[in-house]
Structure 1
Amino acid sequence: MKEIILTPAMRMLTELLEQRTGQILSENRLWRIETSLGPVLRAHGLKTLDALADAIRADASGAMGTQAVDALLNNETSFFRDAHIFALIGDQLIPAAMRHAEALGREKQLRIWCAGCSTGQEAFSIGMLFQNNRARWPDWRIEILATDISHTAIARARSGVIPQMEAQRGLPVSDMLRWMEPEGDDWRISPAVRGMIDFRIDNLVAPQAPTGTYDLILCRNVLLYFTAERKRALFSALARYCASGGALLLGAGETTIGLTTDFTASPEHRGVYRRVDPA
């Protein structure tokens, strides 16, 4: 790939992204920076990245910078992404968390945190999974916190409206018909699923939304965009909010090796990391 030479405006925008989110733009994302920011340029009648950088500096409210950062984030997601992971959650991780909670004499409620939830498909998938299995878990309740730093992504997630093309990605037709309602050319997630999820704007560099501890934390395909130093800080934060005996799920290309001693890889399930209780 041709070497990309950063202009002063590009450097300012990438530094703004890292400053606000902790994320760095990899080489394969740098070449798309102008394309990603195209909608922001057009919305404000700007012609170049230099003009956008100047507008961000002049905007005391910080709103212009927020729009630019939102545009640079990768919000790729889909329903039941990596289907085997959701089979694992339903068949192994949720039942194990329930047994652990019962052994501790806790009330029949599980808490799940989707960290870096994008437009909500991961959290909606967990809600559907739980609803589909209510006969197995009749007395249990589930509480899902879903956070993302993108204002645009969280606004979409809160609306519950899913474009037709996105609704067809990974979602079985039976679940679409059971847990979604047609709305014009789009689909809206049913209140039974939406009501299970608390969508919050939050920054994983310094999370404020989580409270207490969570039995299961999903932070998949997020670490890819962080430096090793940021990853260590993120694992420390995740450990603070992961319950004793709890589990952390990472993406296929992510690991805790050399970055934290707070989690250890599950010998049975790839991509699952168990919370190591402090000595």
Structure 2
Amino acid sequence: MLEARTGQQLVTSRVWRIETSLKPLLRERGMTSTDQLVAAMLKGSEHGLADRVIEALLNNETFFFRDHGVFQLLNGEALEVLRAARAARRRLRIWCAGCSTGQEAYSIAMMIADAPERWQGWTIDILGTDISSGAVERAQTGIFSQFEIQRGLPIMMMMRWFDQEGENWYASAELKRRVQFRRHNVLEQPPMPGRFDLILCRNVLLYFPSAVRTAAFDRLASAIEPDGVLMLGAGETVLGQTAKFVSERELRGLYRPAVLGEASKAA
């Protein structure tokens, strides 16, 4: 059911996640086994139960500035390349696909907001999407626990962009205005009209079987500008997965659409 609805596959090494992830749902319903939960879903008497099971099985692991070195590269050479290429229109469209609870999209927003001179007069559209409606709803609130706020977020950024109330931290209204969130499956038609200059699709594709991963890369390729930049997770690569993207020697760890990338290598 998970694979049919989301494209994600629970391989043998991840089967343990089923029982672990569903425990809160079992407790809520006074059930003692996943068999009882399966029986309730098959019976079909409870509206939305299957959706809640899917939500529970999705991996929403994320944190601010995950893989800090790649974010440094992104904030330096990569965004500078895009800034030079978009100097005439002074606009960037950024898509965080599989954004989970929003830390990644907010990281990008803070990075740009903290360089006002660099981006003065620019329009920066940042869109975060995820297949989990629960994750998207949480991202939209901009509320993070003490544990979440301490994962990867420099203290100066934390104090500048978040306010503490009790045990939670709340993103400022200005930061929230910089990001939009929407429910979307990366296997569907890309969101928003037009193409994106920068796409982050991190730690999403590794959960897909090979054929589905190739289809996802096709979707990403159809959504990116010919000279755009793609950022994957630390354990992900385009090598042997797709012919639509290639490594960029000028931006190690990031990827470009194949036509541009091959032209760059030839030069």
TM bin, normalised by shorter chain, reads: over 0.9
What is the CA-CA distance between 1:236 and the residue it aligns to?
Answer: 0.6
The letter of the residue matching 2:166 is: G
Q: Which residue in the other structure is 1:242 paired with?
A: 224
Where 1:174 maps in the other structure, the secondary structure is helix
Where 1:90 maps in the other structure, the secondary structure is helix
Where 1:260 maps in the other structure, the secondary structure is coil
Pick one of 62, 69, 76 that aligns with 1:84: 69
Root mean square deviation of aligned Cα: 1.7
The letter of the residue matching 1:86 is: F
Distance 2:33 2:80 in 1: 53
Distance 2:47 2:128 in 1: 24
Pick one of 139, 147, 166 that aligns with 1:165: 147
Q: Which residue in the other structure is 2:162 paired with?
A: 180
Counting only pairs closer than 5 Å after superposition, residues 56-95 of structure 1 correspond to structure 2 as: 56-59=41-44, 63-95=48-80
What is the CA-CA distance between 1:90 and the residue it aligns to?
Answer: 1.2
Q: Deviations over 1:91-131 (max 9, x none)?
A: 111121111112xx3x2110100011011000000000001
Pick one of 191, 215, 224 that aligns with 2:173: 191
The change in CA–CA distance for 1:277 and 1:39 in structure 2 (over 3 A counts) is same
Q: Deviations over 1:24-48 (max 9, x none)?
A: 1133321231111011112223221
Q: Which residue in the other structure is 1:22 paired with?
A: 7
Where 1:253 maps in the other structure, the secondary structure is coil
1:113 and 2:95 correspond: yes
The letter of the residue matching 2:52 is: Q
Pick one of 90, 106, 110 that aligns with 1:128: 110
Distance 2:136 2:239 in 1: 31
TM-score under structure 1 normalisation?
0.89
What is the CA-CA distance between 1:62 and the residue it aligns to?
Answer: 5.4
Residues 251 and 271 of structure 1 are in contact (CA less than 8 Å); yes or no, is this contact kept in structure 2? no
Distance 1:24 1:37 in 2: 16
Q: Which residue in the other structure is 1:12 paired with?
A: none
The letter of the residue matching 2:85 is: H
Distance 2:90 2:246 in 1: 26
Where 1:157 maps in the other structure, the secondary structure is helix
Identity, in percent, stands at 45
Q: Which residue in the other structure is 2:16 paired with?
A: 31
> After TM superposition, where is structure 1 displaced by more than 6 Å over at least 4 residues in a row?
none
Distance 1:158 1:207 in 2: 22
Residues 77 and 251 of structure 2 are in contact (CA less than 8 Å); yes or no, is this contact kept in structure 1? no
The letter of the residue matching 2:13 is: N
Distance 2:176 2:45 in 1: 35
Pick one of 34, 58, 63 that aligns with 1:49: 34
Q: Which residue in the other structure is 2:81 paired with?
A: 96
Where 1:244 maps in the other structure, the secondary structure is strand
Q: Which runs of 5+ in 2 are unaligned?
A: none
- Per mean C-alpha deviation after superposition, the further-off stretch among 159-168 and 24-33 is 24-33
Distance 2:15 2:149 in 1: 29
What is the CA-CA distance between 1:209 and the residue it aligns to?
Answer: 2.8
Residues 110 and 215 of structure 1 are in contact (CA less than 8 Å); yes or no, is this contact kept in structure 2? yes
TM-score under structure 2 normalisation?
0.93
Distance 2:255 2:129 in 1: 20
